[in-house]
């Protein structure tokens, strides 16, 4: 999972980190979640207010707990 204030959502960093974790033999979840323009999707309290982003985060957390 990655996030950024830019349009790519940290895709390059996520790809590089995934490669490193695979090399180290770590289990990596197959779904590569990116959250671009994150600052536009946060409430003043710092909570995610995008239904899509919330769903993606929930699915990623469930996959992690079930792995």
CA atoms lying within 13 Å on the CB side of residue 50: 12
- Whole-Å CA distances, 59 to 20, 23, 42, 45: 23, 25, 19, 23
pLDDT of residue 20: 96
Q: Parse the chain into domains and list their residue ranges.
A: 2-65
pLDDT of residue 40: 92
pLDDT of residue 62: 94
User: What is the pTM assigned to this prediction?
Assistant: 0.76
CB of 3 within 8 A of CB of 35? yes
pLDDT, one tens digit for every residue, the chain (67 residues): 787 888 887 888 989 999 999 999 998 888 888 888 999 999 999 999 999 999 999 999 999 899 8
């Amino acid at each position: 999972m990655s996030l950024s204030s830019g349009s790519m959502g940290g895709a390059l960093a996520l790809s590089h980190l995934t490669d490193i974790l695979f090399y180290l033999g770590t289990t990596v979840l197959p779904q590569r979640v990116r959250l671009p323009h994150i600052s536009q999707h946060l409430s003043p309290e710092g909570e995610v207010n995008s239904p899509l982003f919330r769903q993606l985060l929930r699915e990623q957390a469930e996959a992690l707990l079930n792995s």
